[in-house]
Amino acid sequence: MRTAEPARDAASVWDIATPSRPGRLPGVAMAGFRARTTGVVDLGVVPYPAVTVAVDLGDGSLVVDDVSGRRQSGSVVVGLASGGVRGRGRDIECLQVRLSPPVAHAVLGALAEPGATVVSLDDLLGRDAVRIHERLRAARSWEDRFAIAEAAVVRRHEAGRAVEPEVAFVWRRTVASLGAVRVERLAAEVGWSRKRLWSRFRAQIGLTPKRAAQLVRFDRAAHRLAAGHSAARVAADIGYVDQSHLHREVMALTGATPRAVAAAPWLAVDDVAWAAPAYLSKP
C-alpha cells in the first residue's frame, strides 16, 4: 500500500491509499480514502471520463447529491460527466473504483451509463453488492480491500457483455486524440454511418461521441489548470480553438470558470490517488 502525503491544504483532509501493484484488468483504478478531519467534509465532484464506484466503509454518513437534487446515501455509482454532483459526510472512509466506460459497460451494465446519474450500488448489483460490501468491511487492510474489489470487478467483467469492437476503437481514438478527431472520420474508420456510430456509442458508453470528446479534453485541461498553467496556455496546448472555447466548455461541464476549476479541492488529491488514469488504459 502507498499512503500519500498531502499535496496542498485541501489534500490534507485525506489519508489516501493506493494498490502496491498494477491491477489485473486494464481500464480499472482504485484508491482508498479516510478523512482526517472530524468535521463534515463537503466536496463537489469534478467531471471525469470514467464511471466511479464509491463503496462507503464508514458509519454510513456518506451522502451524494446529483445535479437534479436526487440524493443517495451509502455506496453509489457516479456516471460520466458528473457535473453538479456533491458528496458530504462525517468521518468518511470509502473505497473508490474508477472504470473506463468500456469496462463499466461489462461490469455494471446499462443502468450505470446515463451521464450525470448517481445510482445506489445496491440497486445495481443487488445481493452481490451486499456480499462485496460485507467482505470489504471485514478486511484488515487496504491491500486486502483492493484485492477483494479487484476480484469482484474481474469476475463481473468476465461474465458481462463487452462493448462492440468498433465502439471500443472509437473510445480509444477519442482518448488518444484528446477528442480532436471528428465523428465523421471515426465513423469512416470503423465502416459505420455517422448515425449508427452515434447511436451505438451512446448506448454502450453512455455519452454521445461529441460529449465524450469534450469530457476527455476537459479532464486533461483541468489537471493542467490545477498545476498552475494559464487558461490561454492550456487552451493552446490541449486543442481548444481559443481561450473562449475553453471557458465555454468548462462552464458547460461544471457550471464554473476555469479559475474556479483550477482550485477545486478534489483536484488537489486527484494526481496522488489516480497516478494512472483509468480511462487512459485499454480496453
Whether 244 maps to a domain, the answer reads yes
Model confidence at 112: pLDDT above 70: no
> Which range (12-16, 52-56, 83-87, 123-127) has the least confidence?
83-87
Q: What is the CATH number of the domain that holds 242?
A: 1.10.10.60
* Distances, alpha carbon 206 to alpha carbons 115, 141, 211, 262, in Å: 6, 34, 10, 26
Do 156 and 170 sit in the same domain of this protein? no
Q: Residue 25 belongs to a domain with what CATH number?
A: 2.60.120.10
pLDDT at 162 > cutoff 80:
yes
Coil vs helix vs strand at 179? coil
Rounded Cα–Cα distance for residues 211 and 219 (Å):
12
Q: E strands along 7-50, which residues?
A: 14-18, 28-35, 40-44
Mean pLDDT comparison of 8-12, 109-113, 161-165, 264-268, highest-scoring range: 161-165
Rounded-to-integer distance, Cα 220 and Cα 224, Å: 6
Residues 121 and 212 in one domain: no
Domain boundary among 161, 182, 205: 161
Highest mean pLDDT among 75-89, 231-245, 264-278: 231-245
| Domain contains 277 | no
Helices (H), 65-190: 101-108, 121-125, 127-138, 142-159, 165-176, 183-190
Q: 270 in a domain, yes or no?
A: no
User: 142 vs 8, 18, 20, 61, 174, CA distance in Å?
Assistant: 23, 8, 10, 20, 33
Q: For 126-157, what is each residue's pLDDT tens digit?
A: 888 999 999 999 999 999 999 999 999 999 99
Same domain as 16, residue 140: yes
Q: Do residue 136 and residue 172 come from a single domain?
A: no
**62, amino acid identity:** L
Residue, of 11 and 279, whose pLDDT is higher = 279
Q: Are residues 119 and 177 in the same domain?
A: no
Compute the average pLDDT of residues 30-51: 83
Residue 219 lies in domain:
165-262
* Dist CA 209 CA 191 (whole Å): 16
Distance CA 260, CA 6 (A): 20
Task: Look at residue 82 and tell me if it is in a domain.
Answer: yes
pLDDT in tens, 199-246: 999 989 888 999 899 999 998 999 899 888 999 999 999 989 999 999
Rounded average pLDDT over 72-83:
78
Cis peptide preceding 283, ω within 30 of 0: yes
* Residue after which a domain boundary falls, among 161, 189, 223: 161
User: By mean pLDDT, which of 74-88, 90-104, 130-144, 152-166 is the weakest?
Assistant: 74-88
Sign for the pseudo-dihedral over CA of 249, 255, 259, 262: negative
Of 161, 187, 204, the position where a domain reaches its end is: 161
Query: Structural domain tally of the chain?
Result: 2
Residues 157, 182, single domain; the answer is no
* Residue 282 contacts residue 27 (beta carbons within 8 Å): yes
Share of the chain above pLDDT 90, in %: 44
Q: What's the mean pLDDT in 46-65?
A: 85
30, 156: one domain = yes
Instruction: Look at residue 27 and tell me if it is in a domain.
Output: yes
> Which of 7-11, 27-31, 135-139 comes out lowest in average pLDDT?
7-11
Is residue 187 located within the same domain as residue 156?
Answer: no
Report how far residue 199's alpha carbon sits from residue 202's, in angstroms, rounded to the nearest whole number.
5
Which residues share a beta bridge with 55? Answer: 95
Q: Which uninterrupted H or E stretch holds 252?
A: helix 243-254
